[in-house]
Amino acid sequence: MGDEVVDNDSHLSDNRTMYICICNQVTERDIQHAAAEGCSSLRQLKAQTGLGTQCGTCCQDGKEVLKCCMAENKAMNEAEPAL
Ligand code: FES
């Protein structure tokens, strides 16, 4: 008893369905898509997804997720071989 190992790697999956903005049902995936389409500021993110346009408590988290997505996109673009 107590020696059981629980596989708890579910947080490592990349399905990005976590809600960042509850008021407008904006997920990490929505922010990822917005970043891939060129969104690069909170103002653009608000316009594109509706994030932060009601209570506004999600704005800081939305900004952080957008920053991470932009960094990921940049890293992926740099990793692609030049033609
Ligand atoms: S949680 Fe995003 S506007 Fe309320």
Return per-residue pLDDT of the chain as tens, 83 residues.
455 655 555 444 566 789 999 999 999 999 999 999 999 999 999 999 999 999 999 999 999 999 999 999 999 888 876 66
Q: What pLDDT is stored for residue 77 in this prediction?
A: 87
As given in the structure block, the two tokens for residue 39 are 């969104």
Ligand 1 contact, 60 CB (< 6 A) = no
Can you read off the two tokens belonging to residue 41?
């500021």
Q: Which atom of ligand 1 is nearest to the CA of 51?
A: 2
Closest ligand 1 atom, residue 23 Cα:
4
pTM above 0.75, yes or no: yes
pLDDT of residue 62: 98
CB burial of 58-70 (b: ≥16 within 10 Å; e: otherwise) equals: bbebbbebbeebb
CB proximity list for 23: less than 8 A, separation 6 or greater: 53, 54, 55, 58
CATH architecture, domain 16-79: Orthogonal Bundle (1.10)
